[in-house]
Each structure stands twice: as C-alpha cells, then as structure tokens.
Amino acid sequence: MEIQTKLRLNYWQIIFIGFGFLASSLAWAVYNAQVPLILDERFSLSRTLIGTIMTIDNFFGVILQPLIGTWSDNTHSRFGRRFPWIALGLPICALLFTLVPLQTVLWQFMLVIVSFNFIMALWRSPVVSIMPDVVPSPLRSEANGIINLMGGVGSIIAFYYGGVLSDLTEDKFYAFFMASIIMMLALILLFLFVRDPDSLLYKETHGIPIRNSLANRWARLSQQQFTEEYSALVDENFNTESTVKQRTSLTAFLDLPSQQQKSLAALLIAIFAWFMGNNAIETFFTLFATNTYGISGGQATMMLAGFSLAFLLFAVPAGRIGHKFGRKRTILIGLIGFIIIFVLIIAKPSQMLLQFLLIIAGFFWAFININSLPMVLEFATLSSIGTFTGYYYMFSFSASIVSPIFYGFLQDIFQTDALLFVFALVCFIVAFSSFLFVKHGEEHL
C-alpha cells in the first residue's frame, strides 16, 4: 500500500483534458436545446419525427463507440493514440455545427446534422479515453469527477449563454457559433497541454526528438506513475502473460478470465438498467410534474435543474469517496438511495418535498455515475482502454434509445403519468440486483 502515497493527481492536466469533455457537453447541450426548435419552427415536423431525429446520436454511439475505441487503441503515432482522432473529428464538427442553423431546406439540414453526429462519434470515445491513459487506477474516480464537473460547466454555458445568443437572430446562429469557437479553443488547449504517454514511446522507438514542453513533462510523469503502479500489483491476474499482451480487438471481453467476464457483464447490465431509469425521468419528468402537480413546464424544468446542480457540485467529492471507501460500496449506496427516494416519490409527496428529494437524488447520481466508468476500465489493460470505454458507452447509449421508446409505449397503454417513478424504481432494482454480482472493478492497489 506504500505506493499510494507516491501517486499524485495532476489537477491542471485533468482540467485541460476536461476541456475536451466541456466542448463535447456544450455542443450536445446546444444541439439538444436548439435543434428541436428548428425542426418545429422552421420545418414544422411532427413530435414523433423530431423525437426520432434526436436519437440519431445515440444510434451512432451504440454502433461506433466500441469500434472507435478499439481503433484508437490500435492507433500509434507521434501524437499518441487518441489525438489523431480528436484532431480529425473536432474541427470538422466545429465547422458542421456553424452550418446547422443556416440550412433552410430540410434534406440539407438533415445531411448536416447526420454528418455532425457521425463525426462527433469519431472523437467522443477517444477524448474520454485520454483521462485513463494518463491517470493511474487509484486516481481515476477523482479524475472522472473533475472531468464531469468540466462537462457540467459546458452544459451551463450552453443553457445560459446559448439561450441568450439564440435569441439574437431568428436562425439561432450565434448559439451554434459560440459552441464551435469553444470547441476549437478546447482543441488548442488539448494540443498545448496534454500528451498521451504512448506518443513518447512512439517517438523514442522512431528516434524522434522529444521537446522539453510542459505537456511532454506531464506525460513523462504519468508514464512513471504507471510504472510504479504496476510494480506494486498483487493480483495474480495482472502478473500473467495474457495480461501483458495487448488486448486491442473489439472482442477484448473474451480475453478476460471467466470470473471477470461475469463481473463485467453484470456491471454493464447494471449500467444499462440505471441509465434506463434515469433517462426516462429526464425525458418525461416535465410531463409528470405538470400533470401531477399542476405546475408549468418552466417550473418542472427548474426542479430538474436542482438535480443537475447537485450532481455537478458533488462530482469531485463522489470520486474521492469512491477512492477512499471503494467504488462498489459507493455505487451501492447510490443505488439504495435512489430506490428509497423513488419509493417516497411514488407516495406522492408535496411539491417542496419532491424538489428536496430530487436534489438528494443528484448527490446519489454522482455516487453512481462518477465511479462506474472507472470500474469498467479496471478490466482493461493500458492497451485496451479505448475498447472498454466503448463498451461503457455502448450500454449507456443503448439505454438512451430504448428507455424513451419503451416507457412511452407503457404510458400510451396505461394512459397515466404516475408510472414514471414506478418504472424508474424497477430499473434501479434491476441495476442493484445485477450489481451485486460484480466482484471486480476496484482499484488494483
């Protein structure tokens, strides 16, 4: 355990990595807020068509994230494994995003947003994979908290400044333009201050001089921390030749020992289930609140804002708690907390109590969400981080596709909004039950 005192999180490095997630979150927040309005106001599409179009990103996520994650694992260049994908995808996305509000013909509008969604899928998984590339296992929960905090800042910028800028012109151009500018600034910051340690190995192998830049020095420190971490491993699974060899194929799951396969499968099922419940609430809460409590859509949205703000404030502490007390125990506390809250909401509390319960739920969501990706990455080797990141997003995006459709179908059958938290309760009970079978995923040290 002595090695833990030597590991230090480079907060500035994580913050600069977080700008990539900030840019992605900001773009999606602007996209989700403004594109439905354009489809309705400019093209007069039905709600069904609008809803279908808004799931395009999730379909690309399910199909492409595991593939891109694996391909980035196998990409070796002087810029590392992830940056070639980011350098290719991010500028194209920034350009396409400025074109979205300028389209006045439906087929051209659809061509631009489909292209945007496709290119976004090329760099989303790589930009998330940078963090575990440079952060040793014991520090990933806290680092993931910082990354999510940066993403939350991006969403706040999008909702506030994007909302103000979208009203300046009828075509909403300036909201999209602001997001494009910030995306390009994020790319510049990433290239100035972040290096994948794999880029150092590539340069050393090919005799390319390594500049004494801050980014390279930080990458070298990350490389040294990984060396120290792996020298202290006591788990026999990490001292075998099968672990040392690179698992860089899409079927890396099959290379795991059978007990780890069962644990990972249980973990991914749990992730799918709790995202099913959470996504249903995000999608249908305003309808639930307006019909159950007789409040306006704006008031209902503000109630959800309390949930999001609580998650944002607790993102970093949740990572530290996961590091100190264990990721599995922390996630179990979050799941139990959600189940209790859903039972209380089903009992129809007052509006004020409901708001308080949603804020508490935001704290519990941080317990779950911040520690789940680091748990998945514990099954990966250094050479397969992108692949396992892709697994995580495949299951979370699948839930985002299935949940609104399945719950909407149930609501149409029973013709009541009261089922929302019953549905969410069932999802989280399934998640809790599956998560009990997870026996791996804690820090190696």
Q: Is 407 left (phi over 0), alpha (psi -120 to 50) or beta?
A: alpha
CA–CA gap between residue 410 and residue 418 (Å, rounded): 11
Per-residue pLDDT of 226-277, as tens digits, reads 765 444 433 433 344 444 343 455 677 778 888 888 999 999 999 999 999 9
Residue 432's nearest CA partner among 362, 330, 336 is 336
At 298, the pLDDT band (50, 70, 90 cuts) reads low
Domains by residue range for the chain, with CATH: 2-232 (1.20.1250.20), 253-435 (1.20.1250.20)
Are 383 and 248 in contact, with CB atoms under 8 Å apart? yes
If pLDDT is split at 50, 70 and 90, which confidence band does 318 have?
very high
Residue 439, φ and ψ in degrees, nearest 5? -110, 0
How many helices (H) and strands (E) the chain has is answered by 16, 0
Annotate 53-99 with three-state secondary structure: HCCHHHHHHHHHHHHHHHHHHCCCCCCCCCHHHHHHHHHHHHHHHHH
Query: pLDDT by residue (tens digit) across 155-184?
Result: 888 877 887 888 888 888 998 999 999 999
Q: Report whether pLDDT(430) > 90.
A: yes
Burial of 4 from C-beta contacts in 10 A (0-12 / 13-18 / 19+): middle
Instruction: Report residue 10 as tokens.
Output: 């480079």
CA–CA separation, 277 and 420 (whole Å): 9
Cα-only R_g, the chain: 22
How far is the CA of 437 from the CAs of 16, 235, 271, 369, in angstroms? 36, 19, 13, 18
pLDDT at 343 over 80: yes
Instruction: Report yes or no: 417 and 288 within 8 Å, Cβ to Cβ.
Output: yes
